[in-house]
């Protein structure tokens, strides 16, 4: 049994990843920027609530202090993310702050705890929209979706994965593309995989990579270069 922290776990993929981790017997911290909602979700799932806004240094520090006080951390799932169509201005900056700087803030604060774990794993939730291969493949749906800033933010998530894997040889760091999913962000009424299926991909990869390989990118359960 391990202890996990899932960021952005109030709804969508994060909530379902947390639910499946609890069902698999793990102790799970539900990270939520809305504390009231976080407590409600944690209670529903049999998890622990942690107030955590990934864009706020003080919130991140206090969240990881709580996780440490409650016993440490084996698995960090950097899931919190937003998608905005804006190509410039505050909305575009918010995408980069949440999706890229947010992962750096949480990872930096979590690493001291993860380094003390027996088999520490970080899973970063990426997207095909940030994949060069997918964007260059006319047959891949990602090549037809305009996502200038969001796509760039997810490409950065892949590079953060490679860089953290290299910098932290004692921690397995992977990126997972969960697949286009029917959530608030994916668009519940525009098709996409059921959230249970996509979250299942993330949870299976997290279990499968405890011994590595680190620095890898996973798409629907298969490793992709
Ligand atoms: P949702 O919009 O359904 O959920 C996003 C979650 O992130 C919410 O819990 C939200 O909290 C939280 N969040 C947003 N900003 C912050 C913040 N500053 N601090 C903490 N939490 C925050 O999106 P999905 O579940 O679809 O997306 C989850 C991840 O999966 C994202 O990283 C996304 O990019 C990625 N992804 C999604 C795909 C899809 O098709 N849905 C495909 C590929 C990747 P709140 O409830 O407070 O708003």
Mutate to test the pocket of ligand 1, among 5, 12, 160 (most ligand atoms within 8 A of CB): 12
For the chain, give the mean pLDDT: 95
Average pLDDT (152-170) is 98
Give 105-133 pLDDT, tens digit per residue: 999 999 999 999 999 999 999 999 999 99
pLDDT of residue 219: 87
Could you give the count of Cα atoms lying within 13 Å of 105 in the half-sphere of its Cβ?
21
Give 63-91 pLDDT, tens digit per residue: 999 999 999 999 999 999 999 899 999 99
pTM value? 0.97
| Ligand 1, atom 23, residue with closest C-alpha | 185
- Is the pLDDT reported for residue 221 higher than 70? no
**Active site annotation includes 164:** no
* Percentage of the chain lying above the pLDDT 70 cut: 96
Residue 205 CA to residue 190 CA, distance in Å, equals 26
Query: Strand order of the sheet with strand 75-78?
Result: 48-51, 27-32, 3-6, 75-78, 121-125, 172-177, 216-219, 222-224
pLDDT of residue 183: 84
Task: Report the separation in Å between the CA atom of 106 and the middle of ligand 1, taken as the mean of its atom positions.
Answer: 15
Token pair belonging to 32:
């939520």
- Ligand 1 pocket at CB < 6 A: 7-8, 10-14, 33-34, 52-55, 79-82, 98, 125, 127, 178, 180-181, 183-186, 192
Q: What confidence category does residue 176 fall into, taking pLDDT thresholds of 50, 70 and 90?
A: very high
């Amino acid at each position: 049994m391990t202890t996990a922290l899932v960021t952005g776990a109030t709804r969508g993929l994060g909530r379902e990843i947390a639910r499946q981790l609890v069902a698999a017997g793990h102790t799970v911290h539900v990270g939520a920027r809305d504390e009231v909602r976080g407590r409600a979700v944690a209670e529903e799932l049999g998890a622990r609530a942690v107030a955590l806004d990934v864009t706020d240094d003080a919130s991140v520090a206090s969240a990881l202090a709580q996780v440490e006080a409650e016993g440490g951390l084996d698995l960090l799932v950097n899931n919190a993310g937003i998608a905005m169509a804006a190509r410039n201005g505050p909305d575009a900056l918010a995408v980069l702050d949440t999706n890229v700087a947010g992962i750096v803030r949480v990872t930096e604060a979590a690493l001291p705890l993860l380094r003390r774990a027996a088999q520490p794993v970080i899973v970063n939730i990426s997207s095909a929209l940030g994949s060069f291969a997918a964007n260059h493949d006319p047959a891949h749906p990602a090549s037809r979706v305009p996502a200038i800033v969001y796509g760039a933010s997810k490409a950065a998530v892949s590079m953060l994965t490679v860089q953290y894997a290299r910098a932290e040889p004692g921690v397995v760091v992977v990126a997972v593309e969960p697949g286009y999913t029917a959530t608030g962000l994916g668009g519940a009424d525009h098709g996409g995989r059921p959230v249970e299926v996509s979250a299942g991909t993330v949870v299976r990869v997290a279990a499968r990579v405890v011994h590595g390989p680190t620095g890898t990118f996973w798409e629907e359960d298969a490793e992709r270069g």
